[in-house]
Chain A
Amino acid sequence: DTAVSQTPKYLVTQMGNDKSIKCEQNLGHDTMYWYKQDSKKFLKIMFSYNNKELIINETVPNRFSPKSPDKAHLNLHINSLELGDSAVYFCASSTPSGVGFAGELFFGEGSRLTVL
């Protein structure tokens, strides 16, 4: 039974289109994240939600909008896709953090977005 699952696994689309990636976790965690991994493997945090509330919002273009309908789901919608949005997007959830430190992150298998 997959702990963090995201769909779709692959997404190929044209510039200017709008697309969504869905994520679900069955670990009972309160905190979920979206990370972007570029072609050089660099992992950068985009958003974090704790119990449906946005707590981290990095300098991400407004075209990216996360939505958390409940604490087990965190979706990512991207408007007006650009070539530079091509990347692997990872959803993750985490165990409760201690005072001042992050808990363990559990990542999904990633969604590879290719913008043509």
Chain B
Amino acid sequence: GENVEQHPSTLSVQEGDSAVIKCTYSDSASNYFPWYKQELGKGPQLIIDIRSNVGEKKDQRIAVTLNKTAKHFSLHITETQPEDSAVYFCAASKTGKLIFGQGTTLQVKP
């Protein structure tokens, strides 16, 4: 089955800096790659997603890139703010079942 590896497990940046989180997946048939943000005491919430026919997608300060050949995708957050502090999960899917990465705890220091 699909396996998703996510790195780093923790990331600390200064406010205003960029943050990058990387994921690799094992099943080359996976074709949908969402990113979820989980704030303390809340459920995860979708922040951006990308499908396999697209190499890059951007939404304001966040962007996702996908390299299907290498089977990896990344989340980029620019101009980080304290409210970006949360746990971020990548996921991969081909059949409607999402397989999540292990999560990255991002801390943005003011």
Contacts and interface: CB of A to CB of B under 8 A. Distances in A.
Interface of A: 4, 40-45, 48, 56, 90, 92, 97, 100-105, 107-110
Most buried by B among A45, A56, A107, A109: A107
A95 to B, nearest CB: 10
For the side of the interface on B, what is the size category? 20 to 34
B97 A108 contact: no
B43 interface: yes
Contacts of A102: 32, 34, 93, 96-98
User: What are the nearest 10 A-B pairs in CB distance?
Assistant: A107-B43, A101-B32, A43-B100, A41-B103, A102-B93, A97-B96, A102-B96, A104-B46, A102-B98, A107-B44
A11 B43 CA distance: 17
Given A43-B89, A101-B31, A104-B34, A109 B98 contact: no
A104 B42 CA distance: 16
For A100, A109, A110, the residue with the greatest tally of chain B CB atoms inside 10 Å of its CB is A100
A101 B46 CA distance: 15
A100 B99 CA distance: 14
Contacts of B31: 100-101
Contact of A44 (B49, B95, B100): B100
Interface in B70-110: 87, 89, 93-100, 102-103, 105
Contact of B44 (A44, A101, A103, A105): A105
Contacts of A103: 96
A43 B45 contact: no
B7 interface: no
A100 B46 contact: no
12 contacts: A41-B38, A90-B43, A92-B43, A101-B32, A101-B51, A101-B93, A102-B32, A102-B97, A102-B98, A105-B34, A107-B43, A109-B41
